[in-house]
């Protein structure tokens, strides 16, 4: 097994020797000296490349998974790592470690996390200087990390973000003789265009960059058939569609686990706390949704409970949460006008750059029948809350129109019906009037909430029908999907 410092140490020594020899040759005029210097440099370079590409008995069972982002908020890449580990591969998982990954990733002996620090770039001067320095530093950082790990049979990276990781990963794979796999979740330049515009020089550079380096991968994966077709037509890339599928942890939550989670959340968020006096003749433990009888430890749902509406977000530009807030204001108006509708508790999970902006908007609302909270959940609690909710809302609007929201996949794994905002190719996941509804604006969303919750908490209405459809139409889970589409690529002979 190659030592971790082999690549960097050899490169440093090579550069020093090359610099000394070059300086020596420049000061002299002897042609023979120049030939000797070039020959020595060539031999040293060959030795360095030989050490980088030297393979041992375990190389074919090692894979590097790379995400230039937070590992804890990259569920698909975590699932890749777990699937590789399940099949006996040793996984080096490289990425930011801002939030805690799934317990399965942390417990798995075959997965070694190599954390990298997020680069900020130069803080003074024009924004372009900040961006350029950030890219340069990230290139050096990734080169250092990827050349220090043991030789890998494959390097599997997420795109976006792909600048500069695609070029660096490809270069390292060329040096080390590894096969390069890109998992296309979206296009990086379309996400950048949300804040900068299509014609911004950085956006145009990013588009050229992805078009140039993307086709250099050995294999390509993507998240929809629409993206597969676009990659083939406009990029010349043949990709395999690997639909996002829910992991086994996403399922309907038993009442006891619901109650335990609600009790924990009630300690921090008053929206989950029971309102009213405790019953003196019977010892019970209450939340606004559930009641636990301490005598026999049974848990039941309260008949007068509010509906639990759940949305998940990274609080970025591709999700306009003002749509949901306007819809909730209209829902409040329906109740005040006399409509027979349940009160709502709306939990919006996640964290990101626009969270504080929307929290201020939420705090400014004066709603009597709708309560909103923005909890941050541990990785283990998120699927429990999904499996406890009555309705999900998705405001993800694809920047490219070619990817699908992972949050809806997880909701469907929990048999949670969804109202999702329309964009191209969404129909590959959300079937209107079958497993949820598709809306285009806040007014349409408000009408859908009114319609779906009009018979709450009865399970006989459309909301119950969608849930039953999800129970009976469950497709492949992640493991079977991965084994069918990715494992043959990883195990294919060279």
Q: Could you report the per-residue pLDDT of 403-447, keeping only the tens digit for each? A: 999 999 999 999 999 999 999 899 999 999 999 999 999 999 999
The predicted pLDDT at position 1 comes to 36
The predicted pLDDT at position 314 comes to 82
The predicted pLDDT at position 19 comes to 57
The predicted pLDDT at position 319 comes to 85
Helix (H), strand (E) at residue 371: strand 370-373
pLDDT along the chain (494 residues), means of 10: 43 54 56 64 56 70 96 94 97 94 92 92 76 89 93 96 93 94 96 90 93 96 96 96 91 96 95 75 86 92 95 84 94 96 95 85 90 90 96 92 93 96 92 95 97 92 94 84 95 86
Mark residue 455 as left, alpha or beta (left: phi above 0; alpha: psi -120 to 50; beta: remaining).
Answer: alpha
pTM of the model: 0.82
Distance (Å, rounded) from C-alpha 14 to C-alpha 18?
6
Q: In what order do the strands lie in the sheet with 62-70?
A: 111-115, 90-96, 62-70, 154-159, 179-184, 219-222, 240-241
* Residue 20 CB neighbour total at 10 angstroms: 11
Rounded to the nearest angstrom, the gap between the alpha carbon of residue 116 and the centroid of all alpha carbons in its chain is 17
Terminal Cα-to-Cα distance of the chain (whole angstroms):
21
At 187-208, the pLDDT tens digits run 999 999 988 899 998 899 999 9
Task: Give the closest residue to 140 by CA, choosing from 44, 2, 13, 12.
Answer: 12
Residues of the chain with CATH 3.40.50.2000: 59-245+482-491, 255-275+305-473
The predicted pLDDT at position 389 comes to 97
Contact 384, 262 (CB under 8 A): no
**What CATH code is assigned to 255-275+305-473?**
3.40.50.2000
- Pick among 3.30.420.40, 3.30.70.1150, 3.40.50.720, 3.40.50.2000: CATH of 59-245+482-491: 3.40.50.2000
Helix (H), strand (E) at residue 222: strand 219-222
């Amino acid at each position: 097994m190659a030592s971790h410092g082999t690549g960097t140490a050899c490169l440093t020594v090579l550069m020093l020797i090359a610099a000394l020899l070059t300086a020596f040759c420049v000061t002299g005029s002897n042609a023979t000296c120049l030939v000797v210097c070039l020959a020595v440099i060539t031999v040293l370079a060959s030795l360095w490349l030989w050490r980088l590409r030297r393979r041992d008995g375990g190389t074919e069972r090692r894979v590097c998974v790379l995400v230039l982002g937070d590992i804890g908020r990259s569920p698909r890449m975590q699932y890749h790592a777990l699937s590789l580990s399940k099949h006996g591969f040793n996984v080096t998982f490289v990425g930011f470690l801002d939030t805690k990954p799934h317990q399965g990733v942390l417990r798995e002996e075959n997965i070694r996390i190599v954390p990298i620090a997020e680069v900020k770039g130069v803080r003074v001067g024009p924004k372009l200087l900040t961006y350029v320095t950030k890219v340069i530093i990230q290139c050096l950082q990734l080169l250092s990390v990827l050349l220090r790990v043991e030789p890998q049979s494959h390097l599997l990276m997420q795109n976006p973000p792909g600048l500069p990781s695609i070029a660096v990963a490809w270069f390292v794979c060329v040096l080390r003789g590894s096969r390069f796999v890109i998992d296309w979740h979206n296009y990086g330049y379309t996400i950048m265009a949300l804040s900068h515009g299509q014609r911004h020089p950085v956006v145009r550079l990013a588009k050229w960059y992805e078009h140039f380096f993307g086709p250099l991968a050995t294999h390509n994966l993507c998240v929809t058939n629409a993206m597969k077709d676009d990659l083939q037509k406009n990029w010349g890339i043949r990709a395999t569609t690997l639909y996002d599928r829910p992991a086994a942890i996403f399922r309907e939550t038993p009442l006891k686990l619901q109650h335990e989670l609600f009790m924990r959340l009630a300690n921090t968020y008053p929206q989950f706390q029971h309102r009213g006096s405790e019953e003196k003749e019977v010892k019970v433990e209450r939340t606004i949704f559930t009641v636990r009888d301490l005598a026999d430890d049974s848990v039941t749902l309260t008949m007068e409970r509010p509906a639990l509406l759940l949305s998940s977000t990274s609080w970025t530009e591709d999700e306009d949460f003002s749509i949901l807030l306007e819809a909730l204001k209209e829902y409040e108006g329906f109740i005040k006008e006399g409509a027979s509708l349940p009160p709502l508790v709306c939990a919006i999970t996640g964290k990101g750059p626009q969270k504080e902006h929307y929290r201020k908007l939420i705090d400014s609302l004066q709603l009597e029948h709708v309560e909103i909270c923005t909890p941050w959940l541990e990785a283990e609690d998120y699927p429990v809350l999904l499996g406890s909710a009555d309705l999900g809302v998705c405001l993800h609007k694809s920047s490219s129109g070619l990817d699908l929201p992972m949050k809806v996949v997880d909701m469907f794994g929990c048999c949670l019906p969804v109202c999702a905002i329309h964009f191209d190719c969404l129909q590959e996941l959300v079937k209107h009037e079958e497993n949820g509804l598709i809306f285009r604006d806040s007014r349409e969303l408000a009408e859908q909430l009114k319609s779906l919750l009009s018979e709450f908490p009865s399970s006989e209405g459309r909301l119950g029908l969608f849930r039953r459809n999800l129970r009976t139409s469950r497709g492949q889970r992640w493991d079977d999907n991965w084994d069918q589409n990715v494992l043959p690529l990883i195990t294919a002979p060279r």
